[in-house]
Amino acid sequence: MSIIYLTNIQAHSIERRVQLYMILKNNFSKTIALIVGTLLLLLCMGVSIVYGYANTSIQTTIESFTQFNQSNEHIIIQNVRIPRVLIATCVGASLAITGVLMQTLTKNPLASPGILGINAGAGFAVVFAMIFFHVSNLQSFAWIAFLGATIAALSVYGISSAGRDAVTPVKITLAGAAISALFASLTQGLLATNEAALEQVLFWLAGSVQGRKLEILLSVLPYLIIGWIAALLISSKMNILALGDDVARGLGLRLGFMKLMVGLIVILLAGGSVAIAGPIGFVGIVVPHFARKFVGTDHRWLIPMAALLGGILLLLADVTARYIIMPQEVPVGVMTAMIGTPFFIYLARKGGKK
């Protein structure tokens, strides 16, 4: 809608840029892409339920729904695999949406909750509460993670907007890395003095969707759903925001309010994800770029596409993580880092000319 208000030349150049960039051009093919994405997501969910250390087949999986018989396989499927799959899907989708929002907000292709210190902040808050207030209740875990995420997000934004000039991508990345390092160091310090707590949280800190109960997801799910819906609702406004602050203001967008909204959604989704799965990095960086390749920069398509791809990526990473050092499992956060780092380097090299 907003593009109409631009001059013809501007609109034309934007359109051409977008067209060069993306593969799918019209709404019909984008709709097909979303449907294919959904099917792929469902397929990955199925694969993730069926394959793992305990041998199960598609048949036993279906039987566990239709005629549950208390056998080991059925219990594993119902109590271990299904929560895990649902959690991976929700967390992957949330992180991917967070990545899209942060990249547009900061105009930084490298922005994501991991790089900008939000994960580390939430992680620190949870460890702190566990050691000093002996919190083990899941509901409060979520609130504490939100608090930590908020503090970290505010400090990164505060720091990086402190200068008189505009917030440059490098500056915001550096600020995030430093905040991240600080929180990581504080977390490690707490754990170094408390070995019992280390044992409890080590796996959580690496980022993992293993061994989480469905209740953890359910306690956080309302916040995630609010975040998803809100992200979709503001998606057309995000398109205006992406044109730059001056243009957006000229088009009548309430910038302050808009940025606040985006910040809140980021905190809801990133904080919620950390509360469930621990800090999982790189999903937020990688997925938005792939989603943009498919559907372009229109956020009304980009956000749902990124959500689907995020779920798929995390599910696949989780299935792979089960097989690498069997019978043990690699935390999925380590897997995403292994997939994500080469991509991060690619992006950093590509953007280096600026």
Partner 1 sequence: MKNLKTIRLLQNKVSFLLDIKASKKLTLISIIALAVFLFSASFGDSFINPIKVLQVLIGNGSDFDQLIIVDFRMPRIFIAAFAGMALAVAGAILQGIIKNPLASPDLIGISAGGGAAVVGFLAMFSDSNHSLTVSIEWLPLAGFIGATIVGLIVYIFAWKDGVTPTRLVLIGIGVSAFMQAITTMLMIIGPIYQASEANKWITGSVKSADWSQVQIVVPLILILLLITFFITRQLNVQELGDDTAASLGQSVQKTRLFLLLLSSSLVASAISFAGAIGFVGLMAPHIARRIVGPSFGVLIPTSAAIGAILVMVADIIGRTAFNPLEVPAGVFTAAIGAPYFIYLLFRNPRK
Using DSSP's 3-state secondary structure scheme, residue 169 falls into helix
Residue 128 CB coordination number (10 Å): 18
Indicate whether 206 belongs to the interface with partner 1 (CB under 8 A).
Answer: yes
Whether the CA torsion 89, 93, 94, 96 is positive or negative: it is positive
- Whichever of 288 and 304 has its CB closer to partner 1, that residue is 288
Smallest gap from residue 131 Cβ to partner 1 (A):
12
For the record, the structure tokens of 62 come out as: 């279906």
Indicate whether 320 belongs to the interface with partner 1 (CB under 8 A).
Answer: no
Indicate whether 202 belongs to the interface with partner 1 (CB under 8 A).
Answer: yes
List the one residue from 3, 6, 11, 198 that touches partner 1 (CB under 8 A): 198
End-to-end CA gap in the chain: 30
Question: Rounded to an integer, what distance in angstroms lies between the CA atom of residue 134 and that of residue 99?
Answer: 32
Q: Enumerate residues 125-184 that contact partner 1 by CB under 8 A.
A: 155, 159-160, 162-165, 170-171, 173-175, 177-179, 181-182, 184
Question: Rounded to an integer, what distance in angstroms lies between the CA atom of residue 253 and that of residue 241?
Answer: 8
Smallest gap from residue 208 Cβ to partner 1 (A):
9
Indicate whether 211 belongs to the interface with partner 1 (CB under 8 A).
Answer: no
Indicate whether 334 belongs to the interface with partner 1 (CB under 8 A).
Answer: yes
For the record, the structure tokens of 283 come out as: 């999903």
List the one residue from 185, 211, 222, 326 that touches partner 1 (CB under 8 A): 185
Q: Which of 336, 300, 310, 147 is nearest to 223 (CA)?
A: 147
- Whichever of 11 and 178 has its CB closer to partner 1, that residue is 178
Question: Rounded to an integer, what distance in angstroms lies between the CA atom of residue 147 and that of residue 237?
Answer: 27
278 close to 333: Cβ distance less than 8 angstroms: yes
List the one residue from 128, 146, 157, 344 that touches partner 1 (CB under 8 A): 344
- Cis status of the peptide bond prior to 83, with omega within 30 of 0: no
Smallest gap from residue 80 Cβ to partner 1 (A):
19
Smallest gap from residue 253 Cβ to partner 1 (A):
26
Question: Rounded to an integer, what distance in angstroms lies between the CA atom of residue 304 and that of residue 309?
Answer: 9
Indicate whether 326 belongs to the interface with partner 1 (CB under 8 A).
Answer: no
- Whichever of 85 and 191 has its CB closer to partner 1, that residue is 191
Indicate whether 91 belongs to the interface with partner 1 (CB under 8 A).
Answer: no
Question: Rounded to an integer, what distance in angstroms lies between the CA atom of residue 288 and that of residue 51?
Answer: 28
Indicate whether 328 belongs to the interface with partner 1 (CB under 8 A).
Answer: yes
Span near partner 1 by CB under 8 A; candidates 2-10, 110-118, 235-243, 268-276: 110-118
283 close to 314: Cβ distance less than 8 angstroms: yes
- Whichever of 91 and 115 has its CB closer to partner 1, that residue is 115
268 close to 102: Cβ distance less than 8 angstroms: no
Span near partner 1 by CB under 8 A; candidates 26-34, 66-74, 245-253, 325-333: 325-333
For the record, the structure tokens of 175 come out as: 């600020």
118 close to 155: Cβ distance less than 8 angstroms: no
Q: Enumerate residues 218-277 that contact partner 1 by CB under 8 A.
A: none
Binding site for partner 1 (CB under 8 A): 110, 114-115, 155, 159-160, 162-165, 170-171, 173-175, 177-179, 181-182, 184-186, 188-189, 191-193, 195, 198-199, 202-203, 205-206, 281-282, 325, 328, 330-331, 333-334, 337-338, 340-341, 344-345, 348-349, 351-352
